[in-house]
Amino acid sequence: MEDQGAGMEWRVTIELSGADGTKRTHEVARGGGADPLSTFDPLGLTLDDGKLLLAGVQRRLVEARVAEYSALRRRCSHCRSLRPLKDARTRRLNSLFGTVEVPAPRFKPCRCAIAVRSTLSPASELMPDRCTPEYERTLAKMGAWLPYRRARRFLSEFFPIGDDLPWHETIRRRTAKVGAALERETLSRAKTPRAVPPAETMTVSIDAGHVRAVRGHLGRTFEVMAARASVA
């Protein structure tokens, strides 16, 4: 019997081009090698393959973006010198496509002390909430539709959100935060006076009437005038 050998193998890579023209290629996922004559092996990508692929692409994109931004922010915009390194930390970003932990260097003020006079943290500027806006909106939406634990199970079924955090508690906090922000926005709009468009015409109506005094009560009469103005 002829040996067919291993089946088709596949590999997905991502190419990143920096602002300085440099290019880097990273492998994000690979698979295949199944029996080519088998009808039981999955055809195409499985759900786990897709989540692994998305998580790999997200990790490489976030790492490259933070590294490029940090390098650009390190250079002083006034004298073009490099700011001294204060320390090297890490910062985590939560997203629908995985939690990414990236180097987050902090820089001391430039010696010219003109552009910035405090410690500079580029990673904190890029991810102040430690999550992507899409991640926060989706968690809040699912938390509004479903119980928090059920929403967490539903999201983990289709997204590589990870299992290392109490996600039902995270969903509760994110839902409350987005709800509070929407409430503040609604109240702010209600307090803001609406701009009235200029009127093409104005109509003023004035009417008057004489009111007789009640008999036996001081014997006085008075006149009432009413006016109404409308624009169109």
- Residues 186-216: pLDDT tens digits? 777 776 666 656 666 777 676 766 667 666 6
Domain-located, residue 144: yes
Rounded Cα distance between 214 and 109, Å, is 85
Contacts of 172 (CB under 8 A, 6+ apart): 143, 148
pLDDT tens digits, 128-147: 988 888 888 888 888 888 88
Give the total number of structural domains in the chain: 1
Residue 156 within any structural domain of the chain: yes
Domain contains 223: no
Does residue 7 surpass a pLDDT of 80?
Answer: no
Cα→Cα distances 95→62, 71, 126, 180, Å:
10, 23, 14, 21
Identify whether 143 is part of a domain: yes
Does any domain span residue 64? no
Mean pLDDT of 60-78: 91
pTM for the full model?
0.67
d(CA 51, CA 57): 10
Is residue 157, in this structure, part of any structural domain at all? yes
pLDDT at 183: 74
Contact predicate 10/31, CB 8 Å? yes
How high does pLDDT run on average in the chain? 80
Q: Which domain holds residue 149?
A: 132-187
Q: 168 in a domain, yes or no?
A: yes
Higher pLDDT, 124 or 8: 124
Query: Strand 222-231 to strand 202-211: parallel, antiparallel, or no bridges (unpaired)?
Result: antiparallel
What pLDDT is stored for residue 36 in this prediction? Answer: 72
Question: What is the share, in percent, of the chain residues with pLDDT greater than 90?
Answer: 25
**Structure confidence at residue 15 (pLDDT):** 93
Asked if residue 105 belongs to a domain, the reply is no
Q: Under a CB-based contact definition with an 8 Å cutoff, are residues 229 and 218 in contact?
A: no
In contact, 60 and 16? CB cutoff 8 Å? yes
